[in-house]
């Protein structure tokens, strides 16, 4: 299988291992497989006989990637083993009649980013070894990640102690929660670095992009340290592919449990930001899973919801709103480009022209045929900040199940858009204890953004979570989150966000390692 790019610069395509190592295609396009493999209904249902790791390996095999089957088996077993706190890896939970939740947060950082970032680093290293055995450059890589919270920790946990790789994370100083800060600052491993940046998430991202674009710095890293820079953000195909697995797996599981008969339709509802998770559902559908509607759930930053309902993607006059769901706060949703490529029957000229409209006019509108295709597969709705907290409280009261704010957004959209005759799978993307302050507000009937009472505000994130778990009669907070107050902080350095400051920090880190 070759991987081609959405802007048509690599008509012959590249191998899987090269697509994983490069991340982005020359010219800014994203890699997609030259064709999407099909599984029969029987093959999909048979996944239920396998462990989750074996299900993943089966899906990887279907894509005929350029790594040996035995190696793929081994990497999947390592990615989805006892690093997860539930042996089912992705439990499927019926919350109420017709609404089933897939819990994507049983990995080490309690967020769904683990589904991809426990897997990608292993495939990244294997890809580097594969390329080296073919005589291509296989020097060390430095993975630079800018994060608003979840991705940084998941990348650190995934790449820690992985051979041939160092990982450095930039987060906005003062802009992440106590839990998120401690998750990153306590990260162990001798190949990791974490820097706070004075400024907001945009400053971190702009800084990181400028470092990637600096050819002189790249040469300097290569000459002095034998290191090249890489990115692990969600445009990497190696992060997308692991996400296809859990939709196929959930369908097989529902058949196995007798919830549906083989071939019966199921809807999917996904809390969406960068469009990676819902795009994976689209690929699962294309591969043959009888998924009917893909529901895109937005928060108050509803650019995707508006696009799916109108065909116009418009950020020209759209303020960026703060919400209780920071991982969905987004204006430019990068994986939408892959989705449009697929829905135009792979028309790179159309993609290139819409992306250029977006750059120049901050908006683009798709043609009528493409919009018809969008509506064939997708529905969308958005949920306000206060309503989001309301959902957490009402589902907890009604069903005794505690949702994180991101999942709550999807839950409400599923309730609104669903057909009573078709079960819906809601993607649950974080454990509630990653966002304990807003869950506290929800359970106490407070509004989004309202100040917590002084005695609550003075608690650490761990203490607040323990209180919420007790009040809500919820099961224990995952160990990785519950132990943060007692784990030594390793990283406290705060740097300025200018290109030179970030480059200086990276150079100092690499020089320090060579002593």
Over the window 225 to 264, marking each residue x when it contacts ligand PLP by CB under 6 A and - when it does not, the resulting string is: ---------x------------------------------
The distance of closest approach from Cβ of residue 177 to ligand PLP in the complex, given in angstroms and rounded to an integer, is 13
Closest Cα partner for 481 from 181, 186, 169, 179?
Answer: 179
Q: Which residue in 274, 339, 370, 448 binds ligand PLP (CB under 6 A)?
A: 274
The distance of closest approach from Cβ of residue 227 to ligand PLP in the complex, given in angstroms and rounded to an integer, is 28
> Residue 2 or 406: which CB sits closer to ligand PLP?
406
Q: Which residue in 328, 391, 462, 502 binds ligand PLP (CB under 6 A)?
A: 328
What's the CA gap between 418 and 424, in Å, rounded? Answer: 7
Q: Which residues of 443-460 are buried (b: 16+ CB within 10 A; e: fewer)?
A: beebebeeebeeebeebe
Q: Which residue in 207, 276, 288, 348 binds ligand PLP (CB under 6 A)?
A: 276
> Residue 191 or 272: which CB sits closer to ligand PLP?
272
The distance of closest approach from Cβ of residue 361 to ligand PLP in the complex, given in angstroms and rounded to an integer, is 24
Tell me how far CA of residue 76 lies from CA of 51, 111, 123, 285, 494, in angstroms.
Answer: 10, 19, 9, 22, 36
Q: Which residue in 127, 299, 327, 438 binds ligand PLP (CB under 6 A)?
A: 327
Residue 6 φ/ψ region, left for φ over 0, alpha for ψ in the -120 to 50 degree band, beta for the rest: alpha
State whether the Cα torsion 479-483-488-492 is positive or negative: positive
The separation between CA 26 and the C-alpha centre of its own chain, rounded to angstroms, equals 23
Both tokens of 23, joined, read 């991340």
Query: Interacting stretch for ligand PLP, rule CB under 6 A, among 138-146, 160-168, 265-273, 358-366?
Result: 265-273
The separation between CA 107 and the C-alpha centre of its own chain, rounded to angstroms, equals 13
Answer whether 154's CB lies under 8 Å from 128's CB.
no
Both tokens of 71, joined, read 């190696």
> Residue 126 or 430: which CB sits closer to ligand PLP?
430
The distance of closest approach from Cβ of residue 487 to ligand PLP in the complex, given in angstroms and rounded to an integer, is 22
Binding status of residue 429 toward ligand PLP by CB under 6 A: yes
Over the window 108 to 147, marking each residue x when it contacts ligand PLP by CB under 6 A and - when it does not, the resulting string is: ---xxx----------------------------------
209 is catalytic: no
> Residue 186 or 272: which CB sits closer to ligand PLP?
272
Place of tokens 């309301």: 390
Under rule CB under 6 A, which residues in 401-420 are in contact with ligand PLP?
406
Name the 3-class secondary structure at 14: strand
Closest Cα partner for 276 from 515, 2, 25, 30?
Answer: 30
Binding status of residue 106 toward ligand PLP by CB under 6 A: no
Answer whether 495's CB lies under 8 Å from 196's CB.
yes
Helices (H) and strands (E) in the chain, counts: 23, 15
Task: Number of residues interacting with ligand PLP: please give it, by CB under 6 A.
Answer: 17
> Residue 32 or 45: which CB sits closer to ligand PLP?
32
> Residue 221 or 278: which CB sits closer to ligand PLP?
278
Name the phi and psi angles at 291, rounded to 5: -85, 130
Binding status of residue 301 toward ligand PLP by CB under 6 A: no
Answer whether 328's CB lies under 8 Å from 302's CB.
no
The distance of closest approach from Cβ of residue 275 to ligand PLP in the complex, given in angstroms and rounded to an integer, is 5
Binding status of residue 338 toward ligand PLP by CB under 6 A: no
Q: Which residue in 196, 238, 271, 288 binds ligand PLP (CB under 6 A)?
A: 271
What's the CA gap between 107 and 121, in Å, rounded? Answer: 15
Binding status of residue 183 toward ligand PLP by CB under 6 A: no
DSSP 478: P
User: What is the radius of gyration, based on Cα positions, of the chain?
Assistant: 22
Active-site hit among 12, 94, 113, 513: 113
Query: Interacting stretch for ligand PLP, rule CB under 6 A, among 10-18, 40-48, 274-282, 478-486?
Result: 274-282
Query: Interacting stretch for ligand PLP, rule CB under 6 A, among 54-62, 180-188, 271-279, 506-514?
Result: 271-279
Q: Locate all alpha helices (DSSP H) within 47-177, ordered by sequence.
A: 52-62, 69-79, 113-117, 120-133, 150-159
Q: Which residue in 107, 242, 273, 423 binds ligand PLP (CB under 6 A)?
A: 273
- Give me the DSSP letters along 220-274: HHHHHH-EEEE--STTSHHHHHHHHHHHHHHHHHHHHTTSS-TT--EEEEEE-SS
Query: Interacting stretch for ligand PLP, rule CB under 6 A, among 8-16, 36-44, 272-280, 382-390?
Result: 272-280
Query: Interacting stretch for ligand PLP, rule CB under 6 A, among 16-24, 266-274, 344-352, 459-467?
Result: 266-274
Classify residue 495 by burial, with Cβ atoms within 10 Å: 0-12, 13-18, 19+.
middle
- Residues annotated as catalytic (active site), given as ranges: 113
Residues that bind ligand PLP (CB under 6 A): 111-113, 150, 234, 271-277, 327-328, 406, 429-430
């Amino acid at each position: 299988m070759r991987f081609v790019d959405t802007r048509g610069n690599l008509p012959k395509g590249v191998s899987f291992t090269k697509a994983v190592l490069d991340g982005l295609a020359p010219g800014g396009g994203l890699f997609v497989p030259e064709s999407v493999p099909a599984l029969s209904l029987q093959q999909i249902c048979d996944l239920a006989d396998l462990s989750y790791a074996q299900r993943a390996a089966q899906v990887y095999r279907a894509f005929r990637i350029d790594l040996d089957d035995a190696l793929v088996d081994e990497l999947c077993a390592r990615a989805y083993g006892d690093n997860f706190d539930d042996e089912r890896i992705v439990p499927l939970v019926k919350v109420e009649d017709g609404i089933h939740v897939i819990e994507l947060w049983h990995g080490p950082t309690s967020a769904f980013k683990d589904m991809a970032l426990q897997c990608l680093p292993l495939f990244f290293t294997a890809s580097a070894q594969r390329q080296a055995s073919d005589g291509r450059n296989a020097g060390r890589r430095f993975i630079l990640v800018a994060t608003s919270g979840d991705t940084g920790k998941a990348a650190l946990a995934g790449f820690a102690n992985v051979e041939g790789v160092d990982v450095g994370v930039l987060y906005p100083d003062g802009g992440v929660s106590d839990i998120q800060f401690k998750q990153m600052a306590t990260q162990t491993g001798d190949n990791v670095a974490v820097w706070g940046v004075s400024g907001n998430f945009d400053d971190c991202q702009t800084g990181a992009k400028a470092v990637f674009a600096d050819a002189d710095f790249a040469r300097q890293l290569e000459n002095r340290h034998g290191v090249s820079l890489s990115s692990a953000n969600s445009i990497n195909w190696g992060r997308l592919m692991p996400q296809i697995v859990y939709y196929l797996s959930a369908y097989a599981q529902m058949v196995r449990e007798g919830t549906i008969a083989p071939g019966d339709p199921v809807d999917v509802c996904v809390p969406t930001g960068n469009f990676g998770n819902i795009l994976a559902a689209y690929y699962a559908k294309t591969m043959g899973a009888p998924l009917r509607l893909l529901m895109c759930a937005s928060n108050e930053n509803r650019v995707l919801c508006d696009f799916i309902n109108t065909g116009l993607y418009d950020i020209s006059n759209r303020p960026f709103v703060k919400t209780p769901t920071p991982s969905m706060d987004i204006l430019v949703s990068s994986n939408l480009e892959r989705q449009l490529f697929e829905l135009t029957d792979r028309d790179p000229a159309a993609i290139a022209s819409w992306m250029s409209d977006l750059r120049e006019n901050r908006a683009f509108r798709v043609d009528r045929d493409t919009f018809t295709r969008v509506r064939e597969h997708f529905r969308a709705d958005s949920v306000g900040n206060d309503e989001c907290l309301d959902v957490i409280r009402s589902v907890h009261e009604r069903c005794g199940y505690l949702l994180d704010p991101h999942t709550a957004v999807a839950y409400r959209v599923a309730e609104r858009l669903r057909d009573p005759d078709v079960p819906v799978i809601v993607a649950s993307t974080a454990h509630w204890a990653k966002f304990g302050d807003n869950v506290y507000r929800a359970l106490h009937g407070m509004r989004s953004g309202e100040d917590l009472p002084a005695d609550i505000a003075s608690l650490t994130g761990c203490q607040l979570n323990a209180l919420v778990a007790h009040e809500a009669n919820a099961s224990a907070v995952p160990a990785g989150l519950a132990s943060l107050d007692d784990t030594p902080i390793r990283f406290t350095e705060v740097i300025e966000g200018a290109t030179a400051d970030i480059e200086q920090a990276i150079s100092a880190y690499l020089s320090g390692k060579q002593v």
